[in-house]
Structure 1
């Protein structure tokens, strides 16, 4: 069966004719630039097809870029979250250090008589016995601590040392039932004894006659009697005065000025005639 391709000139003749035509067109375009407008029209005609052909690749590239960007954002967000947690922990630690530093500054700047030796001690433990109010501090005989030594905080009198170890000491708080401290009213110098009630927020003034000039709000300071606590340090504030004539004495209660339930740093005081350095350290220094 004859086909359309078997009619007319032979295939070789067609190839030669097409080659000559192509060369002629190339020469005309190169020399005379005759087909510039045609190329412009052809490019305009073909550009939508080119855009459609490149569209799947562009979409894949954009999707890949979006996935990469999202992955980077997730990774960056996780890294920033981790850094934020670390910085928050550091900020909390810095805030705690700042508060402790402020407390130490207040403690060291408290009203202590000039020339009196003092040392800062840190709370180590609290006695869990509900009938006893005692604490442990991190200073002992190696630091010159002695039994009966007065202990203060940045507000007032806390208690006195009752047991001394090599590197630690046990302190009896003024709120303990077995503790008593001679005090005087700052307003009129009336002397009395403040005893512990077994509660951290209460002191009891024993054997106060009904005629004693004591009022709510009076400030109690150490009187210096007994030669344990130096004179003039804040001890408590009178909170109630009950004069019942059926009782032999007035019932007077006070609140400790020292924050006995919030102790952290304490101040140990030495008598004015105490050596400037612990005696044990001086003895060790003398030994060959």
Structure 2
């Protein structure tokens, strides 16, 4: 066969091939059908579990250089720095021990008062420490991958927090890893209340690590900049009283006020998180759908919210 000239090659490359178009249409249709069936009936959960198990070692290896660097920096620190840090931690320990003694006294008094009221004393929540393996860099999805999975009793809907407060919840759990959605994800809604007044509402993610939007708060409600927002406990998923955000903006609007809050946790800097074991996997609450907010321009479709 004679060699094609450059012009003939370009013409051949852009020639419409009916067979190729039919094949493309078939595979696109098949993909849509498979995604729809999987979304409704969860047929591919087993496949995802297998893939998650297979990919986990590679995710761990990708994180290994960072962990090794941190280990070397920690072990090669100078003696003077370690002694200074040790002295500072001792002072902090003494201060915390004094506070703990006071809290122990208050806890004992609280138990006594509850027993007088024939009330049940709540058992302390258990915590599971997890480390980040990866971060989803999609600007419209705030997801993180953790190195704990179903083998560590992680379950879908489990609250995730750090030392400052709530950061999100588990939305998918593989045998050895899990995925968490952050409270700032545009598809997340969290039942909260204003700690000062007890006013309850929903905090919606905006896609910005520094902002949450409060939903359906009347203009005449007592809300001030600096108010602390805590979990309300409604919905049965997040326990009551954990810090979430602080109000940074309050503007009257129509028909509801425009209220913006900043998460107390530094969501773009977290390295370690705590998984709150407030309910065992077989007793975890069913998902509670969030109400649909007023339509607003978005850069990507919003399929549903997690609350």
TM-score, scaled to structure 2 = 0.53
Classify the secondary structure of the residue corresponding to 2:216. Answer: strand
Does 1:184 find its partner at 2:193? yes
1:148 to 144, 157, 180: 157
Shift of 1:114: 5.1
2:246 to 237, 250, 259: 237
1:96-145, Cα deviation, whole Å (9 max, x unpaired): 9x89xx8xx9xxxxx9x853121100011000111110000000000000
Does 1:257 find its partner at 2:264? yes
- Tell me, in whole angstroms, the C-alpha distance in 2 between the residues paired with 1:162 and 1:136: 10
Residues 120 and 95 of structure 1: CA distance in aligned 2, closer, same or farther (over 3 Å): farther
Higher Rg: 1
Does 1:158 find its partner at 2:144? no
Classify the secondary structure of the residue corresponding to 1:91. Answer: coil
2:143 to 126, 134, 139: 134
1:46-76, Cα deviation, whole Å (9 max, x unpaired): xxxxxxxxxxxxxxxxxxxxxxxxxxxxxxx
Aligned to 1:248: 255
Shift of 1:270: 1.2
Contact kept, 8 Å, 1:117 with 1:272, in 2: the verdict is no
Contact kept, 8 Å, 1:205 with 1:251, in 2: the verdict is yes
Classify the secondary structure of the residue corresponding to 1:198. Answer: coil
1:32-51, Cα deviation, whole Å (9 max, x unpaired): xxxxxxxxxxxxxxxxxxxx
- Tell me, in whole angstroms, the C-alpha distance in 2 between the residues paired with 1:118 and 1:260: 19
Residues 156 and 88 of structure 1: CA distance in aligned 2, closer, same or farther (over 3 Å): closer
Shift of 1:158: 0.5
Q: Which sections of structure 1, spanning at least 5 residues, go unmatched? A: 1-85, 106-110, 276-288
CA RMSD in angstroms, aligned pairs only: 3.1
